[in-house]
Amino acid sequence: MTMNDGDMKAVLEWLKDTDLAEVSFKEGREGFSLSLPTTAPVPAFPPSRYVPVLSPAVGVYRKGSAGKAGAADGSAVARNAVLGMVEQARGKSVPVTAPKAGKIARSFASDGEAVEYGSLLYFIEP
């Protein structure tokens, strides 16, 4: 089987009519494959109503601060409230604060858990 540019064009036109992004054809050792540039926008997810709280540092996560227990799931927190501390080597602690007021929808790191920079610690529902 041989195909010329005209044949290819016909296949391409047909491909554009479908909702396919790619088509390939193979017969024995011969064949072709065509794909359309993905111009269609990726369907946008609805914006999340949760605000993530990410770890600002690498270390060991301690819930709460200065003897106070950490906020439990479902409890309300004020903006900038200290949710916990990341304990680092050489005694340094980096506070983790709530970026928005709301309630703790879910916490991801338990007390004493190792976290890295950017680890997800909480979702806050404003």
Partner 1 sequence: MFKKILIANRGEIALRVIRACREMGIKTVAVYSEADRDSLHVQRADEAVAIGPAPAAMSYLNVDAILSAAQITGADAVHPGYGFLSENAEFAAACGEAGLSFIGPRPDAIRKLGHKSTAKALAREAGVPVVPGTKGLLGADFMEAARAVGFPVMIKAAAGGGGKGLRMVRRSEDLESQIKLAQTEAQAAFKDGSVYMEKLIESPRHVEIQIACDIRGQVVAFPERDCTLQRRHQKLLEESPSPAMIPETRRRMQKAAVDLAKAAGYTNVGTVEFLLDTDGSFYFIEVNTRLQVEHPVTEIVSGFDLVWTQIRLAAGEPLNIGQERASEIRAHAIEHRINAEDPQRGFAPCPGLIESAWLPAGPGVRVETHIYPGYTVPSYYDSLIAKLIVSAPTRMEAIARSRRALDEFDLDGIRTTIPFHRMVLDQRPFQEGRFDTHYAEKLNHAATEAAHGSLAISNGSQN
Q: What angle do CA 48, 54, 55 make, to 5 degrees?
A: 170
Partners of 68 in beta bridges: 65
Instruction: Give least dist CB 9 to partner 1, A.
Output: 27
- Closest approach, Cβ 109 to partner 1, in A, equals 12
How many Cα atoms occupy the beta-carbon half-sphere of 82 within 13 Å? 15
CB 114, min distance to partner 1, A:
4
Residue 65 or residue 93: which is nearer to partner 1 going by CB? 93
Chain-centre distance of CA 34, in angstroms? 31
Kindly tell me which of 56 and 64 has the beta carbon lying closer to partner 1: 56
Q: Which is nearer to partner 1, 15 or 60 (CB)?
A: 60
Please identify, using beta-carbon distances, which residue of 57 and 121 lies nearer to partner 1: 57
Residues near partner 1, by CB under 8 A: 57-60, 88-90, 92, 114, 116-119
Nearest partner of 106 among 77, 65, 86, judged by Cα: 77
Q: What are the helix and strand counts (H, E) for the chain? A: 1, 10
Q: How far is the CB of 89 from partner 1 (least distance, A)?
A: 4
